[in-house]
Amino acid sequence: MISPVMPTYARVDLSFERGDGAYLYATDGRRFLDFASGIAVTCLGHNHPHLIAALTEQAKKVWHVSNLWRIPEGERLAERLVANTFADTMFFTNSGAEANECAIKLVRKYHDETGNPGRFRIITAEAAFHGRTMTTIAATGGYKYTKGFEPIPEGFDHVAFSNTNEMRAAIRDDTAAILVEPVQGEGGIRPATAEYLQALRAICDEYGLLLVFDEVQSGVGRTGKLFAHEWAGITPDVMTIAKGIGGGFPMGACLATEKAAVGLTAGTHGSTFGGNPLAMAVGNAVLDVLLSDGFLTRVERIGGVLRNRLSDVAAKYPKVLAEVRGAGLMLGLRCEVPSGDFGTKLRENGLITVGAGENVVRLLPPLIIGEGEIDEAVAIVEKTCRDWTH
C-alpha cells in the first residue's frame, strides 16, 4: 500500500523535534551536528533569534495579499539586493527551480523582444542541477533526472563543465544563453575557476548571449562572498538564488540587469505566493546578518580553517578520503570508499552531511559555525575514517 506521503524520497528513518544553532535534536533523544543545513538552506543555523523575531512580527501583521498589491518588505528586499549585486531588478519565487524557470523564460523573452525570436537554446554544463520541474530537468539533463519523463522539453544543449572549447563549439545560430553554476553542488562540489567564468562572460559578449548563473546553492554567503561569481570579478546578466536567502523559509529570486529583463513586462510572468510578506520579512532578516560588518570575511576564514583541518584528516587516511574540495563553507569530501556508506557512518557518529555526485559527501554547515563545532565535526570525520580502516 502506498504511503500517505507520495514515496518520491528515500528518507532516512529519523525525525527531528527541534534545532538550535548548528545542532538538531531527534525525537529519539539523540543530538546531531548539522553539516547539511537542509541542503544549504538554514544558513544561519536553527532557531536564529533574529529570523524568529522578523517572522513573528510579520506573522502578527499580514501573511498573504498576492501580487495584486504592493508589498513594502519585498520592495525593500529588492532594493537591498540591487544595491549589493549587479542586478537592476528581480522576480521573487518560492524555490530555486521556479527561479530558474523564470530565468529561462526571461532569456527567451529577451531575444524575442530584441528582434531575435529564433534564439531560444540554452547551453548548460554536464553534472549540473537546476531543479525538478519539466523544464529544469531538461536544463539539468542526465538519465537520472529525465528517465520516464519523456518527451523532455526542447532547447537545451549540454557540454562538459569547465571546458570552453566545448562551450564555443556548441554555440549555434539559435543559441540564446549559457547557464552554469559557479560551484556545482549536486554534481560533487566542483568549483569553476575564475578563468572559466571570465571566459564565459567573454563568450557571451562575443556571441550576443545572456550569461545566467545559478547561485541557488553557492550564493547568499556560502563561499565567503555574497555570491560565488564575485570571486571571478565578473557579473552575469541573470542570476537565480534560493535556499539560504530564506534561512529555512521557502523563497527564491531571479535577478537580472534592466537590459536582460526588457521582455518581462506586466502580465508576462507571475506567482501567487512569490514575494509573500512572510518570506520577504525573513529574506530581509537574513540580509541583516549577512551584510553586517565582518560576517562574510568570517565565513571565508572559518571555511579555510575547516578545509585545512579536513585536509589533514584526508592526508592521514588516503584509503578513505581522496580529496577535500570546494569553497568557503561549501566543501566536499571525495571518498575512496562508497560515499553513501561513509555518510551513513558519519551520521551514526553524530554528524549530518548530504551526498553528491562523483562519490562526494557534501559539508554545508551553517555560516554561523564556530571553531568548537568545527573541532567536533573534524573529530567525527577522523573517528569515522579510523573505524573504517580497523
Residues tagged in the binding site annotation for N(2)-acetyl-L-ornithine: 132, 271
Termini Cα distance of the chain: 42
Region for 239 from its dihedrals, namely left if φ exceeds 0, alpha if ψ lies in -120 to 50, beta otherwise: beta
From CA 297, how far away is CA 239, in angstroms rounded?
Answer: 22
Give 111-176 as a DSSP string: HHHTT-TT--EEEEETT----SSHHHHHHH-SHHHHTTSPSPPS-EEEE-TT-HHHHHHH--TTEE
Which amino acid does the sequence have at 252? G
The radius of gyration of the chain from alpha carbons, rounded to an integer in Å, stands at 21
In terms of Cβ atoms closer than 10 Å to its own Cβ (0-12, 13-18, 19+), residue 116 is: middle
- Only one residue has cell 518570506, namely 279
- Binding-site residue positions: 96-97, 129, 132, 214-217, 271-272
From CA 186, how far away is CA 129, in angstroms rounded?
Answer: 6
- Binding-site residue positions for pyridoxal 5'-phosphate: 96-97, 129, 214-217, 272
In terms of Cβ atoms closer than 10 Å to its own Cβ (0-12, 13-18, 19+), residue 371 is: exposed
Yes or no: say if 235 and 256 are a contact pair by the CB < 8 Å rule: no
From CA 297, how far away is CA 235, in angstroms rounded?
Answer: 20
CA distances from 171 to 166, 365, 386 (A): 9, 38, 49
Cell numbers for 139, please give them: 536544463
From CA 188, how far away is CA 241, in angstroms rounded?
Answer: 19
Yes or no: say if 220 and 241 are a contact pair by the CB < 8 Å rule: yes
